Amino acid sequence: MKIKRVITIFTIIVLSSCGGESDSSAQDSDSTNGNNGKSTENKSKVSMSADKVVGNIPDIATLTEFGLTAKSLISQAEQLRDHRKYLDAIKKLEALLEAFPDSPEAPDAQVLIAQIYMGYQNDFSSAVREFRKVVTNFPKSDQAHNAQFMMGYIYANHLDDKDKAHTEFQRFIDLYSGEVEEYFLESARAELKSLEEGAPELNIILE
């Protein structure tokens, strides 16, 4: 079905944008033995200290002191997510947003928080809250229209709130007409029609 194909594209856009490069400094801290044993030990100590700092959501100066950047934090968060340490991953991402709110990685971090709540914890109310922050805090980012669409999807398919789903899909059309490709707008219009007829058809599978 065309609608399902379009939604699949939306999902790929939302999730693929959260990808990041692996953190080489984190990998170095895991090395053991060899001629650089002392250096590795020092790196491990810094990594452990930095981990404690991140848990407290420090300011940017403290993060910089420990060599932590927005890119390294999002990479660490992805590794934690992959190891099913979801709350720890969210803390890392919140630290990034607190310390580096204007960084290029900030919108991706906010989306990743929402995606963790939605795809890994089935906490759909929290997912809506976090997707809304993308639209509110990063309205000019490439992630904003995806986040707006996803709010409508969650209300329609997980929270069973047709009125709010209708509101969010209509807002998507109002905000992004002329900014996104027409087939995305057609999908939102089709969903509005389905909601009015009482039969939402969206089908997103998060891996």
In the block, which residue shows the tokens 């599978």? 205
What sections of the chain are H helices per DSSP?
2-16, 24-29, 37-55, 60-65, 70-82, 86-99, 106-119, 124-137, 144-157, 162-176, 182-197
Would you state the structure tokens that stand for residue 74, as one six-digit string? Answer: 């999002």
CB 75 within 8 A of CB 23: yes
Q: What is the pTM of this model?
A: 0.71
pLDDT at residue 126, rounded to an integer: 98
Handedness of CA 52, 56, 61, 67 (dihedral sign): positive
- CATH annotation of 124-197: 1.25.40
pLDDT at residue 68, rounded to an integer: 84
CB 99 within 8 A of CB 86: no
Would you state the structure tokens that stand for residue 175, as one six-digit string? Answer: 């905000």
CB 95 within 8 A of CB 72: no
Q: Where are the domains of the chain?
A: 59-121, 124-197
CB 203 within 8 A of CB 23: no
pLDDT at residue 74, rounded to an integer: 95
Would you state the structure tokens that stand for residue 149, as one six-digit string? Answer: 């669409």
Q: What angle do CA 84, 85, 87 make, to 5 degrees?
A: 130
Q: What angle do CA 164, 166, 170 make, to 5 degrees?
A: 120
pLDDT at residue 139, rounded to an integer: 97
Q: Tell me how crowded residue 129 is: count the other CB atoms within 10 A of its CB.
A: 14
Nearest to 118 by CA among 80, 158, 78, 167: 158
pLDDT at residue 22, rounded to an integer: 37
pLDDT at residue 198, rounded to an integer: 74
pLDDT at residue 36, rounded to an integer: 52
Which stretches of the chain score pLDDT less than 70?
1-67, 199-207
